[in-house]
Structure 1
Amino acid sequence: MTYHGVLTKMQTEFSQPIQYYLVFENDFLNMNQLLDKTVSIRFVKFQCLNCGLDKPIYRQGFCKSCFFEIPQAADWIMRPELSTAHLDKEDRDLDYEKKVQLQPHIVYLANSSNVKVGVTRKSQIPTRWIDQGAHEAIEIVEVPNRYLAGITELALKDHVADKTNWRTMLKNDIADEDLVVWRERLMPYIPDEAKVYFIANNSETHLEFPVHKYPEKPKSLNLKKELNYTGKLTGIKGQYLIFEDNTVFNIRANEGLVVDISIT
């Protein structure tokens, strides 16, 4: 059976283990049901997630012109401390920026390859942790806007990592950490403006991923270069498909690619 559509990040359902869904315009796949089956992926063309044109994808599923124009790809997306909607100051589209920035945000600790600090909208918990492949996470601050979350993350970056090592995460070469202890250790470094929003009495969230076999030496599939790939699916973690031959395919990093997916 063959499915056709443009790749967007897999939708998830928080259960034990996490349930993954690849959603196309007219169809969807429960990826968990494909474990231990042979999956073929073929690159067809590009389709920018904004303008819909067949133009090379630049970043985040957008062509280059859209990336530098639309509010969904502005700098404050990746660097929340640059948010200005709370000042009524526009970057690219103030209405959009107010909608996204002026809502509750969480600063959290997650353990995927190591303990790291991150920021997300409250509505994206636990989705954000799932997408990062974190097997445990904890909320440390809940603030009313993106700017406060951004300056808190920035302050904590001096004392804890803010990046995930994707190879370590996929190999599952990770140690359990006491994130409550980490939270207490980092509390003194929270900026004064955000200290009142510190979360003192919550516990860790634990996540289980549908993986039958972890790769020993993960190698990333470049579908734009290879054009076709076939392999036996043995796991899903973060936004990665994991195959028996150690190949891994990052769905999130390939948003905007139109593909055919066949299952045998």
Structure 2
Amino acid sequence: MTYQGVLTKMASEFLDPIQYYLVFETDFINVNQLLDKTITLAFVEYQCLNCGLNKPIYRQGFCKSCFFDVPQAADWVMRPELSKAHLGKEDRDLAFEKKAQLQPHIVYLANSSNVKVGVTRKSQVPTRWIDQGAHEAIEIVEVPNRYLAGITEVALKEHISDKTNWRTMLKNDIKDEDLVVWRDRLKPYIPNEALAYVIESNTETLLQFPVSQYPEKPKSLNLEKSKHYTGKLVGIKGQYLIFEDNTVFNVRGNEGLVVAISVNV
């Protein structure tokens, strides 16, 4: 059986273990059902997530011209402290920016390769943690807009990392941490503008990923160069497919690629 469609980040369902789905225009795949099966990934062409044209993908699923034009790829997306919608100031599209920025946001701690601080819309909890491959996470601040979340993250990352080491995350070479202790330790560094929004009492969320074998030395698959790859799927973590031969494929990192996925029987 063969499926074909343009890659976007896998949808997920917070169950035990987490369920993953590849969603195409006219079909979808429950990726968990492919575990322990040999599958082939083949590159077909590009399809920019904005203009839909067969043009090389620059970043985040967009061709180069669209990347520098669409509001979904503006600087405030990666750097929330640059958000300006709360001031009524437009970056690329004020209506879009108000919708995205002027809603509750969470500043959180997550443990994927190490304890890190991050920001997400409240509606994206726990999806954001799943996408990062975090096995435990906790909310520490809930604010009414993206700007306040951003300046809180900036303040806290002076004292804790804001990055995930994807290789460490995939190898599962991590240790459990008491995130409540980390939360309390970081409270003194929360900026005054966000102090009223501190979450005083809550517990960790634990996440279980469908992985039967972690890679010892993860090697990233570049499907644009290799054009096709065949391997036995042994796990899914974050936005990565993990194969028996230590190959890993970052689905989100390949958004905008049209692929054919064949299940070998």
Q: Same fold (TM over 0.5)?
A: yes
1:253 positional shift: 0.2
Structure 1: runs of 5 or more not aligned: none
1:232-251 to 2 correspondence within 5 Å?
A: 232-251=232-251
The residue aligned with 1:195 is: 195
Query: Which amino acid letter does the alignment assign opposite residue 150 of structure 1?
Result: G
**4+ residue runs of structure 1 moved beyond 2 angstroms?**
none
- In the alignment, the residues of structure 2 paired with residue 239 and residue 53 of structure 1 have an alpha-carbon distance, to the nearest angstrom, of 24
Report the 3-state secondary structure (helix = DSSP H, G, I; strand = E; otherwise coil) of the residue aligned with 1:86: helix
The residue aligned with 1:226 is: 226
- In the alignment, the residues of structure 1 paired with residue 34 and residue 142 of structure 2 have an alpha-carbon distance, to the nearest angstrom, of 37
- In the alignment, the residues of structure 1 paired with residue 259 and residue 99 of structure 2 have an alpha-carbon distance, to the nearest angstrom, of 32
1:43-82 to 2 correspondence within 5 Å?
A: 43-82=43-82
CA-to-aligned-CA distance 1:210-233 (integer Å, 9 cap, x gap): 001000000000000100000000
- In the alignment, the residues of structure 1 paired with residue 4 and residue 15 of structure 2 have an alpha-carbon distance, to the nearest angstrom, of 27
The residue aligned with 1:178 is: 178
1:27 positional shift: 0.6
1:111 positional shift: 0.0
1:236 positional shift: 0.1
The residue aligned with 2:260 is: 260
- In the alignment, the residues of structure 2 paired with residue 71 and residue 233 of structure 1 have an alpha-carbon distance, to the nearest angstrom, of 35
- In the alignment, the residues of structure 1 paired with residue 136 and residue 28 of structure 2 have an alpha-carbon distance, to the nearest angstrom, of 28
Structure 2: runs of 5 or more not aligned: none
Report the 3-state secondary structure (helix = DSSP H, G, I; strand = E; otherwise coil) of the residue aligned with 2:200: coil
The residue aligned with 2:133 is: 133
The residue aligned with 1:97 is: 97
- In the alignment, the residues of structure 2 paired with residue 106 and residue 9 of structure 1 have an alpha-carbon distance, to the nearest angstrom, of 21
The residue aligned with 1:39 is: 39
Aligned residues: 264
Identity of aligned residues (%): 80
- In the alignment, the residues of structure 1 paired with residue 232 and residue 136 of structure 2 have an alpha-carbon distance, to the nearest angstrom, of 28
Q: CA RMSD in A?
A: 0.3
The residue aligned with 1:157 is: 157
Report the 3-state secondary structure (helix = DSSP H, G, I; strand = E; otherwise coil) of the residue aligned with 2:197: coil
Alignment partner of 1:207 is 2:219: no
The residue aligned with 2:17 is: 17
Query: Which amino acid letter does the alignment assign opposite residue 169 of structure 1?
Result: M
- In the alignment, the residues of structure 2 paired with residue 232 and residue 203 of structure 1 have an alpha-carbon distance, to the nearest angstrom, of 37
Query: Which amino acid letter does the alignment assign opposite residue 226 of structure 2?
Result: E
Query: Which amino acid letter does the alignment assign opposite residue 88 of structure 1?
Result: G
CA-to-aligned-CA distance 1:47-106 (integer Å, 9 cap, x gap): 000000000000000000000001010000000000000000000000000000000000
- In the alignment, the residues of structure 2 paired with residue 205 and residue 225 of structure 1 have an alpha-carbon distance, to the nearest angstrom, of 38
Query: Which amino acid letter does the alignment assign opposite residue 112 of structure 1?
Result: S
